[in-house]
């Protein structure tokens, strides 16, 4: 591992060594210790693509939420009350996200909603949560607009303007390449990340060698014509700003056509589903991610990974880890202020420094005045059919 990655890991572990045990200790060890022990259950909503093309993400989200629920209840619940979770399936679609938001926000027993995953769904449901006065806490949405125009939406990962800048700088400064082509999903996430990348690439003097090729993931499955268009520009690397389903197909079709150009993906590409779809063609693909399990992960992160594998027989991904942290953070806050929706929002809004933040397995979550979160970005490499830490990270 690089010196920078080692320094990052040491800082991360030092912060967690001090903060995370205290955070876990603040949760009740036995039922009845919380001040609400005689009341009914506390309910969380969890919203995401449980079915549809993004179901791989939804499966991880559901599994992580249920694992967190079980662990909390085994410790005595939240404030001595059993935790229940109501799942909402938005199918990764705007219209369904609104339906789910109305259902969850309309249930007065639900204290907070963990979700949505897709940026377009978080934005679609945002006004409903705002009007109902319930926190929408996303463990996956990175579009820059997600937390805008509301005091009720928060997230526990970075924004796409930061991710796009990092991707462009990685191409220029780390990979030492200058000629780039771009694929993008024609939704809020895909377009937002593409725009951020292109703006920074142009500022850095990189050459976008062909018009960026857009697609609609629910409709398009043949990308060979677009690949021909990009290949004509002789790019040194191709960025995919979208989700794993289309990315896997794009990479597979490119290799079938004999293209050798390396691929670089945004964090929406980070899913085991990418490797399942692309197979060996995925080897060498570089992907940004807000979190990655490594040899230097904290003991708490390693423990979560082990428990997840024991429970489900498969390894958790980034989105499982972020969802687990989101559920645990919600419980942590409710332990302090109770299940009142406004009290939860007010406490979230007060978490403005690392000292006031929640120390989870993915890092310390704290917010700016907009509800956005600052966390580091990592670069993963597909190697021997698995995700590994790339030899060089952003800035090296």
Asked if domains 3-158+295-365 and 161-289+379-389 share a fold, the reply is yes
- Contact present, 190 and 241 (Cβ < 8 Å): yes
**Alpha-carbon distances of 109 from 43, 154, 249, rounded to whole Å:** 6, 20, 42
pLDDT average per 10 residues of sequence, the chain (396 residues): 44 46 45 55 98 94 99 98 99 98 99 98 98 99 97 98 98 98 97 98 98 93 97 98 97 98 98 96 98 93 98 97 99 98 99 98 98 96 96 88
Q: Give the Cα separation of 90 and 32 in Å (integer).
A: 35
CATH class for the region spanning 3-158+295-365? alpha beta
Q: What is the tens place of the pLDDT at every residue in 221-235?
A: 999 999 999 999 999
Residue ranges per structural domain of the chain? 3-158+295-365, 161-289+379-389
Q: What is the tens place of the pLDDT at every residue in 362-379?
A: 999 999 999 999 999 999
Q: Give the Cα separation of 321 and 64 in Å (integer).
A: 7
Please give the structure tokens belonging to residue 315: 């390894």
CATH superfamily for domain 161-289+379-389: Response regulator (3.40.50.2300)
Q: What is the tens place of the pLDDT at every residue in 57-97?
A: 999 999 999 999 999 999 999 999 999 999 999 999 999 99
Q: Give the Cα separation of 148 and 36 in Å (integer).
A: 34
Give which of 23, 73, 20, 22 is closest to 44, Cα–Cα: 73
Please give the structure tokens belonging to residue 268: 């929406």
pTM of the model: 0.89
Q: Judging by beta carbons within 10 Å of its beta carbon (0-12, 13-18, 19+), is residue 53 exposed, middle or buried? A: middle
- Contact present, 361 and 319 (Cβ < 8 Å): no
């Amino acid at each position: 591992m690089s010196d920078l990655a080692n320094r990052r890991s040491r800082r991360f572990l030092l912060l967690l060594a001090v903060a995370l045990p205290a955070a876990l200790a603040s949760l009740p060890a036995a039922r009845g210790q919380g001040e609400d022990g005689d009341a009914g259950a506390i309910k969380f909503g969890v919203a995401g693509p449980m079915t549809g093309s993004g179901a791989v993400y939804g499966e991880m989200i559901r599994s992580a939420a249920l694992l967190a629920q079980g662990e909390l209840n085994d410790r005595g619940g939240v404030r001595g009350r059993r935790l229940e979770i109501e799942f909402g399936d938005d199918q990764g679609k705007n219209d369904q996200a609104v339906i789910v938001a109305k259902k969850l926000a309309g249930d007065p027993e639900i204290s907070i909603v963990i979700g949505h995953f897709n940026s377009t769904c978080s934005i679609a449901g945002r006004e409903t949560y705002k009007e109902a006065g319930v926190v929408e806490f996303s463990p996956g949405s990175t579009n820059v607009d997600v937390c805008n125009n509301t005091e009720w939406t928060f997230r526990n990962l970075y924004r796409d303007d930061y991710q796009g800048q990092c991707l462009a700088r990685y191409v220029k400064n780390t990979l030492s390449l200058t000629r780039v082509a771009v694929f993008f999903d024609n939704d809020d996430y895909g377009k937002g990340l593409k725009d951020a990348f292109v703006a920074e690439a142009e500022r850095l003097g990189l050459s976008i060698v062909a018009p960026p090729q857009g697609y609609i993931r629910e409709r398009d499955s043949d990308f060979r014509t677009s690949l021909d268009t990009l290949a004509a520009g002789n790019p040194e690397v191709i960025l995919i700003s979208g989700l794993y389903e289309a990315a896997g197909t794009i990479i597979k079709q490119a290799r079938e056509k004999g293209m050798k150009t390396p691929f670089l993906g945004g964090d929406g590409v980070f899913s085991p589903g990418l490797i399942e779809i692309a197979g060996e063609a995925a080897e060498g693909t570089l992907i940004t991610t807000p979190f990655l399990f490594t040899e230097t992960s904290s003991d708490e992160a390693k423990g979560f990974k082990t428990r997840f594998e024991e429970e489900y027989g498969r390894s958790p991904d980034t989105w499982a880890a972020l969802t687990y942290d989101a559920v645990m953070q919600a419980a942590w806050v409710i332990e302090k202020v109770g299940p009142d929706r406004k009290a939860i929002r007010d406490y979230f809004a007060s978490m403005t420094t690392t000292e006031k933040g929640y120390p989870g397995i993915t890092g310390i979550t704290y917010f700016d005045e907009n509800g956005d979160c600052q966390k580091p970005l990592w670069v993963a490499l597909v190697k021997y059919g698995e995700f590994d830490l790339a030899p060089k990270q952003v800035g090296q």
